Amino acid sequence: MLIAGPCVIESASITLKIAEAIKKITSKLHVPFVFKASYDKANRTSIHSFRGPGLYEGLKILSQVKTKLGVPILSDVHDATQAQMAGEILDIIQVPAFLCRQTDLIVAAAKTGKPVNVKKGQFMAPWDVKGIIKKMQGAGNNNLLLTERGVSFGYNNLVSDFRSLPIMRSLGYPVIFDATHSVQKPGGLGHSSGGESQYIPLLARCAVAAGVDAIFLETHPNPSKALSDGPNTLPLKNLENLLKDLIAINQIAAKNKHA
């Protein structure tokens, strides 16, 4: 499965344009697709950074994508008070990596009854996601997805430890690999985060070979003009060829899994 879209909702028109382009590609290649975009990026480096249209307008735009294209939608929830309203629109609620230990937020997301994708924090060991699982289960929701997005390695740098993928998967829940945030350089540009987008295809291929259940990535027609996370965003024009590679690798990985 592919979870993809722009980092943040920049406008209704560009959001719908990106969603239409991804759906066209994924339909052609028969890849299940969930559209993602954030209505609010609450954890930006600078107070002056663009955050998005906010909860109400953002959910309205995401609802339009869902209705017009018939695709499931995912977005981040940063505050427990937003979970119920977001859950009425979103098909999957996402808990950001920085907030993966926030009990109230996880419980509120779980109580919506919707599937919840929790991103493992950059500071967290893969076996420590057991605490997240127990919080979800305690709230009566077993519809949990776990996402690996790299681990802090010194200052302004992340690395991907692919051992974390089978470790998390052994806990009984689907595991997703975030191929774009894993190449991020948090706060690396001083006023914003940097990134090494040239390594997105490499890490995505490695993760699929390791047997993940889905790939998460952010894509944009012009990453240099993107209002959030441009340096670690995949150019939309490169998506189709990358997906073709991932499909081929997944077929081999699936055969080995059952060998």
- Of all residues in the chain, what percent carry a pLDDT higher than 70? 98
Considering the domain 2-257, what is its CATH architecture?
Alpha-Beta Barrel (3.20)
pLDDT digits (tens, 9 = 90+) for 65-114: 999 999 999 999 999 999 999 999 999 999 999 999 999 999 999 999 99
Q: Parallel, antiparallel, or unpaired: how do β-strands 214-220 and 175-178 relate?
A: parallel
The single-letter code of the amino acid at 58 is G
pLDDT digits (tens, 9 = 90+) for 166-198: 999 999 999 999 999 999 998 877 777 888 999
Sequence spans of domains, the chain: 2-257
Distance of alpha carbon 193 from alpha carbon 45, whole angstroms: 7
Distance of alpha carbon 16 from alpha carbon 241, whole angstroms: 22
**pTM for this structure?**
0.95
